[in-house]
Structure 1
Amino acid sequence: MTKYPMTLLGAEQLKEELKFLKTEKRPRIVKDIAEAREHGDLKENAEYHAAKEEQGFCEGRIQDIEGRLSNAQIIDVTKIPNTGKVIFGATVTLLNIETDVEVTYKIVGDDEADFKTGRISLNSPMARGLIGKEVDTEIEITTPGGVVEYEIIAVEHI
Protein backbone atom coordinates (compact mmCIF):
# COMPACT_ATOMS: atom_id res chain seq x y z
CA MET A 1 0.00 0.00 0.00
CA THR A 2 1.32 3.42 -0.97
CA LYS A 3 1.98 5.88 1.82
CA TYR A 4 1.47 9.58 1.14
CA PRO A 5 3.67 12.18 2.84
CA MET A 6 1.95 14.59 5.20
CA THR A 7 3.31 17.14 7.63
CA LEU A 8 2.54 16.88 11.33
CA LEU A 9 0.44 20.05 11.10
CA GLY A 10 -1.53 18.68 8.14
CA ALA A 11 -2.30 15.47 10.02
CA GLU A 12 -3.43 17.43 13.09
CA GLN A 13 -5.75 19.58 10.98
CA LEU A 14 -7.34 16.49 9.41
CA LYS A 15 -7.78 14.90 12.86
CA GLU A 16 -9.49 18.07 14.13
CA GLU A 17 -11.85 18.12 11.15
CA LEU A 18 -12.62 14.42 11.65
CA LYS A 19 -13.39 15.00 15.33
CA PHE A 20 -15.70 17.92 14.45
CA LEU A 21 -17.54 15.87 11.83
CA LYS A 22 -18.03 12.89 14.14
CA THR A 23 -18.85 14.69 17.40
CA GLU A 24 -20.72 17.79 16.24
CA LYS A 25 -21.87 17.72 12.63
CA ARG A 26 -23.00 14.08 12.39
CA PRO A 27 -25.22 14.27 15.55
CA ARG A 28 -26.73 17.58 14.33
CA ILE A 29 -27.60 16.04 10.96
CA VAL A 30 -29.22 13.01 12.65
CA LYS A 31 -31.29 15.42 14.76
CA ASP A 32 -32.28 17.41 11.64
CA ILE A 33 -33.39 14.20 9.88
CA ALA A 34 -35.49 13.16 12.89
CA GLU A 35 -37.17 16.59 13.04
CA ALA A 36 -37.85 16.56 9.29
CA ARG A 37 -39.43 13.08 9.54
CA GLU A 38 -41.92 14.43 12.06
CA HIS A 39 -43.28 16.81 9.41
CA GLY A 40 -44.95 13.97 7.57
CA ASP A 41 -44.80 12.83 3.93
CA LEU A 42 -41.14 12.22 3.09
CA LYS A 43 -41.64 12.38 -0.68
CA GLU A 44 -42.36 16.11 -0.62
CA ASN A 45 -40.28 17.00 2.43
CA ALA A 46 -37.47 19.29 1.25
CA GLU A 47 -35.94 19.56 4.73
CA TYR A 48 -35.67 15.78 4.97
CA HIS A 49 -34.04 15.46 1.55
CA ALA A 50 -31.62 18.31 2.28
CA ALA A 51 -30.61 16.73 5.59
CA LYS A 52 -30.12 13.30 3.94
CA GLU A 53 -27.97 14.90 1.24
CA GLU A 54 -25.89 16.69 3.88
CA GLN A 55 -25.54 13.38 5.73
CA GLY A 56 -24.18 11.77 2.57
CA PHE A 57 -21.60 14.53 2.12
CA CYS A 58 -20.59 14.33 5.80
CA GLU A 59 -20.19 10.54 5.76
CA GLY A 60 -18.21 10.75 2.53
CA ARG A 61 -15.85 13.34 4.01
CA ILE A 62 -15.39 11.21 7.15
CA GLN A 63 -14.43 8.20 5.02
CA ASP A 64 -12.12 10.36 2.90
CA ILE A 65 -10.27 11.75 5.94
CA GLU A 66 -10.00 8.33 7.60
CA GLY A 67 -8.55 6.92 4.37
CA ARG A 68 -6.05 9.75 4.02
CA LEU A 69 -4.90 9.42 7.62
CA SER A 70 -4.55 5.64 7.38
CA ASN A 71 -2.35 6.01 4.27
CA ALA A 72 -0.37 8.99 5.57
CA GLN A 73 3.33 8.93 6.26
CA ILE A 74 3.51 11.74 8.82
CA ILE A 75 6.83 13.58 8.66
CA ASP A 76 7.88 15.99 11.42
CA VAL A 77 10.57 18.03 9.69
CA THR A 78 11.59 19.70 12.97
CA LYS A 79 13.09 16.37 14.09
CA ILE A 80 15.27 16.04 10.97
CA PRO A 81 18.71 17.70 11.04
CA ASN A 82 18.94 20.67 8.67
CA THR A 83 21.76 20.09 6.18
CA GLY A 84 20.75 22.98 3.92
CA LYS A 85 19.18 20.56 1.44
CA VAL A 86 15.55 21.01 0.39
CA ILE A 87 13.39 18.11 1.63
CA PHE A 88 9.68 17.45 2.18
CA GLY A 89 8.37 19.72 4.93
CA ALA A 90 11.15 22.29 4.58
CA THR A 91 10.44 25.99 4.33
CA VAL A 92 12.43 27.42 1.44
CA THR A 93 13.18 31.09 0.78
CA LEU A 94 13.96 31.91 -2.83
CA LEU A 95 15.25 35.02 -4.55
CA ASN A 96 13.94 35.70 -8.04
CA ILE A 97 17.20 36.58 -9.82
CA GLU A 98 15.50 38.75 -12.44
CA THR A 99 13.23 40.81 -10.15
CA ASP A 100 15.11 40.58 -6.79
CA VAL A 101 11.83 39.55 -5.12
CA GLU A 102 11.99 37.04 -2.26
CA VAL A 103 9.34 34.34 -1.88
CA THR A 104 8.97 31.67 0.78
CA TYR A 105 7.30 28.28 0.32
CA LYS A 106 6.74 25.30 2.57
CA ILE A 107 6.75 21.95 0.76
CA VAL A 108 3.75 19.91 1.94
CA GLY A 109 1.54 16.99 0.92
CA ASP A 110 -1.14 17.32 -1.75
CA ASP A 111 -3.97 17.69 0.79
CA GLU A 112 -2.25 20.55 2.59
CA ALA A 113 -1.21 22.65 -0.40
CA ASP A 114 -2.48 26.23 -0.49
CA PHE A 115 -0.49 28.52 -2.76
CA LYS A 116 -2.03 31.66 -1.23
CA THR A 117 -0.48 30.81 2.15
CA GLY A 118 2.83 29.69 0.69
CA ARG A 119 2.28 25.94 1.04
CA ILE A 120 3.11 24.11 -2.20
CA SER A 121 2.46 20.48 -3.02
CA LEU A 122 5.35 18.06 -3.14
CA ASN A 123 4.13 17.17 -6.64
CA SER A 124 4.06 20.74 -7.98
CA PRO A 125 6.62 21.74 -10.62
CA MET A 126 8.14 24.25 -8.17
CA ALA A 127 8.62 21.68 -5.39
CA ARG A 128 9.94 19.04 -7.79
CA GLY A 129 12.51 21.57 -8.99
CA LEU A 130 13.54 22.36 -5.40
CA ILE A 131 13.74 18.90 -3.79
CA GLY A 132 17.33 17.82 -3.30
CA LYS A 133 18.83 21.23 -4.06
CA GLU A 134 20.93 23.13 -1.50
CA VAL A 135 21.26 26.69 -0.18
CA ASP A 136 23.05 29.09 -2.57
CA THR A 137 22.08 26.98 -5.60
CA GLU A 138 20.58 28.66 -8.64
CA ILE A 139 17.71 26.81 -10.28
CA GLU A 140 15.37 27.29 -13.22
CA ILE A 141 11.69 26.56 -12.71
CA THR A 142 9.26 26.35 -15.61
CA THR A 143 6.12 28.26 -14.70
CA PRO A 144 3.00 29.08 -16.75
CA GLY A 145 4.61 32.47 -17.44
CA GLY A 146 7.86 30.93 -18.67
CA VAL A 147 11.16 29.89 -17.14
CA VAL A 148 12.08 31.72 -13.92
CA GLU A 149 15.52 31.66 -12.32
CA TYR A 150 15.74 31.52 -8.53
CA GLU A 151 18.50 31.32 -5.98
CA ILE A 152 17.83 29.28 -2.84
CA ILE A 153 18.78 31.64 -0.01
CA ALA A 154 17.44 29.70 3.02
CA VAL A 155 16.17 26.26 3.95
CA GLU A 156 14.47 25.98 7.35
CA HIS A 157 12.96 23.07 9.26
CA ILE A 158 10.17 24.87 11.08
Structure 2
Amino acid sequence: MSQIPMTVEGAQRLRDELQELKTVRRPAIIQAIAEAREHGDLKENAEYHAAREQQGFCEGRIQDIEAKLSNAQIIDITKLPNNGKVIFGATVTILNLDTEEEVTYRIVGDDEADIKNFRISVNSPIARGLIGKSEEDVVTINTPAGMVEFEITQVQYL
Protein backbone atom coordinates (compact mmCIF):
# COMPACT_ATOMS: atom_id res chain seq x y z
CA MET A 1 0.00 0.00 0.00
CA SER A 2 1.35 3.42 -0.89
CA GLN A 3 1.61 6.48 1.30
CA ILE A 4 -1.68 8.27 2.03
CA PRO A 5 -1.30 12.06 2.33
CA MET A 6 -2.99 13.42 5.44
CA THR A 7 -3.04 16.70 7.33
CA VAL A 8 -2.06 16.84 11.00
CA GLU A 9 -5.72 17.51 11.92
CA GLY A 10 -6.96 14.59 9.81
CA ALA A 11 -4.51 12.19 11.45
CA GLN A 12 -5.53 13.41 14.90
CA ARG A 13 -9.24 12.90 14.09
CA LEU A 14 -8.50 9.31 13.03
CA ARG A 15 -6.47 8.70 16.21
CA ASP A 16 -9.34 10.09 18.30
CA GLU A 17 -11.87 7.86 16.52
CA LEU A 18 -9.60 4.84 16.99
CA GLN A 19 -9.29 5.60 20.70
CA GLU A 20 -13.09 5.91 20.99
CA LEU A 21 -13.65 2.62 19.18
CA LYS A 22 -11.12 0.71 21.29
CA THR A 23 -11.97 2.13 24.71
CA VAL A 24 -15.71 2.83 24.51
CA ARG A 25 -17.44 1.07 21.60
CA ARG A 26 -15.59 -2.25 21.70
CA PRO A 27 -16.18 -2.84 25.48
CA ALA A 28 -19.85 -1.81 25.11
CA ILE A 29 -20.34 -4.30 22.27
CA ILE A 30 -18.61 -7.07 24.25
CA GLN A 31 -20.94 -6.33 27.16
CA ALA A 32 -23.98 -6.43 24.85
CA ILE A 33 -22.87 -9.81 23.48
CA ALA A 34 -22.44 -11.19 27.00
CA GLU A 35 -25.91 -9.96 28.03
CA ALA A 36 -27.49 -11.39 24.86
CA ARG A 37 -25.85 -14.78 25.48
CA GLU A 38 -27.56 -14.95 28.86
CA HIS A 39 -30.95 -14.87 27.11
CA GLY A 40 -30.45 -18.43 25.95
CA ASP A 41 -30.77 -19.96 22.46
CA LEU A 42 -28.34 -18.11 20.17
CA LYS A 43 -29.97 -19.29 16.93
CA GLU A 44 -33.07 -17.16 17.43
CA ASN A 45 -31.52 -14.42 19.55
CA ALA A 46 -31.82 -11.17 17.55
CA GLU A 47 -29.99 -9.12 20.19
CA TYR A 48 -27.01 -11.47 20.00
CA HIS A 49 -26.88 -11.37 16.20
CA ALA A 50 -27.21 -7.56 16.17
CA ALA A 51 -24.39 -7.21 18.71
CA ARG A 52 -22.17 -9.59 16.70
CA GLU A 53 -22.86 -7.54 13.56
CA GLN A 54 -21.93 -4.34 15.40
CA GLN A 55 -18.76 -6.06 16.59
CA GLY A 56 -17.85 -6.91 12.99
CA PHE A 57 -18.36 -3.31 11.85
CA CYS A 58 -16.38 -1.96 14.80
CA GLU A 59 -13.44 -4.34 14.28
CA GLY A 60 -13.45 -3.58 10.54
CA ARG A 61 -13.32 0.16 11.19
CA ILE A 62 -10.49 -0.30 13.72
CA GLN A 63 -8.47 -2.25 11.13
CA ASP A 64 -9.25 0.36 8.46
CA ILE A 65 -8.08 3.26 10.65
CA GLU A 66 -4.95 1.42 11.78
CA ALA A 67 -4.03 0.67 8.16
CA LYS A 68 -4.56 4.29 7.12
CA LEU A 69 -2.51 5.63 10.01
CA SER A 70 0.32 3.16 9.39
CA ASN A 71 0.51 4.29 5.75
CA ALA A 72 -0.13 7.97 6.41
CA GLN A 73 2.26 10.61 5.21
CA ILE A 74 1.37 13.39 7.64
CA ILE A 75 2.07 16.79 6.14
CA ASP A 76 2.23 19.84 8.42
CA ILE A 77 1.83 22.69 5.99
CA THR A 78 2.48 25.32 8.68
CA LYS A 79 6.13 24.23 8.81
CA LEU A 80 6.70 24.92 5.11
CA PRO A 81 7.64 28.32 3.69
CA ASN A 82 4.75 29.86 1.73
CA ASN A 83 6.01 30.51 -1.78
CA GLY A 84 2.51 31.07 -3.21
CA LYS A 85 2.40 27.61 -4.77
CA VAL A 86 -0.65 25.35 -4.35
CA ILE A 87 0.36 22.14 -2.56
CA PHE A 88 -1.35 19.50 -0.43
CA GLY A 89 -2.79 21.09 2.71
CA ALA A 90 -2.87 24.61 1.28
CA THR A 91 -5.91 26.85 1.66
CA VAL A 92 -6.64 28.29 -1.78
CA THR A 93 -8.97 31.13 -2.72
CA ILE A 94 -10.10 30.98 -6.34
CA LEU A 95 -12.21 33.35 -8.41
CA ASN A 96 -14.57 31.96 -11.04
CA LEU A 97 -13.86 34.24 -14.00
CA ASP A 98 -17.33 33.65 -15.52
CA THR A 99 -19.48 34.33 -12.44
CA GLU A 100 -17.04 36.47 -10.40
CA GLU A 101 -17.81 34.11 -7.49
CA GLU A 102 -14.94 33.65 -5.06
CA VAL A 103 -14.55 30.49 -2.96
CA THR A 104 -11.88 29.21 -0.58
CA TYR A 105 -10.97 25.52 -0.35
CA ARG A 106 -8.49 23.57 1.72
CA ILE A 107 -6.85 20.67 -0.11
CA VAL A 108 -6.88 17.61 2.16
CA GLY A 109 -6.67 13.81 2.05
CA ASP A 110 -9.54 11.63 0.85
CA ASP A 111 -10.74 10.78 4.38
CA GLU A 112 -10.79 14.43 5.41
CA ALA A 113 -12.73 15.78 2.42
CA ASP A 114 -15.95 17.59 3.35
CA ILE A 115 -17.33 19.88 0.65
CA LYS A 116 -19.80 21.49 3.09
CA ASN A 117 -16.79 22.76 5.05
CA PHE A 118 -14.85 23.64 1.88
CA ARG A 119 -12.34 20.82 2.33
CA ILE A 120 -11.71 19.09 -1.00
CA SER A 121 -9.85 15.86 -1.67
CA VAL A 122 -6.41 16.10 -3.20
CA ASN A 123 -7.78 13.68 -5.82
CA SER A 124 -10.77 15.86 -6.80
CA PRO A 125 -10.77 17.48 -10.25
CA ILE A 126 -10.51 21.00 -8.77
CA ALA A 127 -7.58 20.12 -6.50
CA ARG A 128 -5.77 18.26 -9.30
CA GLY A 129 -6.18 21.35 -11.49
CA LEU A 130 -4.82 23.65 -8.78
CA ILE A 131 -1.87 21.62 -7.44
CA GLY A 132 1.44 23.01 -8.65
CA LYS A 133 -0.02 26.35 -9.75
CA SER A 134 0.71 29.69 -8.05
CA GLU A 135 -1.10 32.83 -6.94
CA GLU A 136 -2.47 34.90 -9.85
CA ASP A 137 -2.36 31.90 -12.23
CA VAL A 138 -5.45 31.31 -14.35
CA VAL A 139 -6.41 27.64 -14.58
CA THR A 140 -9.07 25.87 -16.62
CA ILE A 141 -10.67 23.01 -14.72
CA ASN A 142 -13.06 20.40 -16.04
CA THR A 143 -15.96 20.51 -13.56
CA PRO A 144 -19.32 18.71 -13.69
CA ALA A 145 -20.71 21.93 -15.20
CA GLY A 146 -18.07 21.88 -17.96
CA MET A 147 -14.78 23.72 -18.41
CA VAL A 148 -14.46 26.64 -15.98
CA GLU A 149 -11.69 29.23 -15.72
CA PHE A 150 -10.50 30.19 -12.26
CA GLU A 151 -7.92 32.68 -11.07
CA ILE A 152 -5.97 31.75 -7.96
CA THR A 153 -6.25 34.87 -5.82
CA GLN A 154 -4.65 33.64 -2.60
CA VAL A 155 -2.66 30.66 -1.31
CA GLN A 156 -2.28 30.23 2.43
CA TYR A 157 -0.39 27.62 4.45
CA LEU A 158 -2.54 27.54 7.59
Short-chain TM bin: over 0.9
Deviation at 1:64, TM superposition (A): 0.2
Structure-2 residue corresponding to 1:37: 37
Deviation at 1:41, TM superposition (A): 0.4
Summarize deviations over 1:73-127 as a string: whole Å, max 9, x none.
Answer: 0000011110000000000000111111111111111111111211111111111
Structure 1 unpaired stretches of 5+:
none
- Tell me which moved more, 104-113 or 21-30: 104-113
How far apart in 2 are the matches of 1:118 and 1:66?
A: 26
Structure-2 residue corresponding to 1:21: 21
Q: Tell whether 2:126 aligns with 1:121.
A: no
Alignment of 1:1-158 (within 5 A): 1-158=1-158
How far apart in 2 are the matches of 1:4 and 1:132?
A: 18
How far apart in 1 are the matches of 2:116 and 2:24?
A: 29
Deviation at 1:149, TM superposition (A): 0.7
How far apart in 1 are the matches of 2:55 and 2:140?
A: 47
How far apart in 2 are the matches of 1:123 and 1:42?
A: 46
How far apart in 1 are the matches of 2:2 and 2:125?
A: 21
Q: What is the identity percentage for the equivalent residue pairs of Structure 1 and Structure 2?
A: 68
How far apart in 1 are the matches of 2:2 and 2:55?
A: 29
What TM-score does the superposition give when structure 1 sets the normalisation length?
0.98
How far apart in 1 are the matches of 2:128 and 2:40?
A: 57
The Cα RMSD (Å) is: 0.7
Deviating beyond 4 angstroms after TM superposition, the runs of 4 or more aligned structure 1 residues are: none
How far apart in 2 are the matches of 1:43 and 1:132?
A: 59
How far apart in 2 are the matches of 1:153 and 1:123?
A: 21
How far apart in 1 are the matches of 2:131 and 2:23?
A: 39
How far apart in 1 are the matches of 2:35 and 2:121?
A: 43
What TM-score does the superposition give when structure 2 sets the normalisation length?
0.98
How far apart in 1 are the matches of 2:140 and 2:116?
A: 22
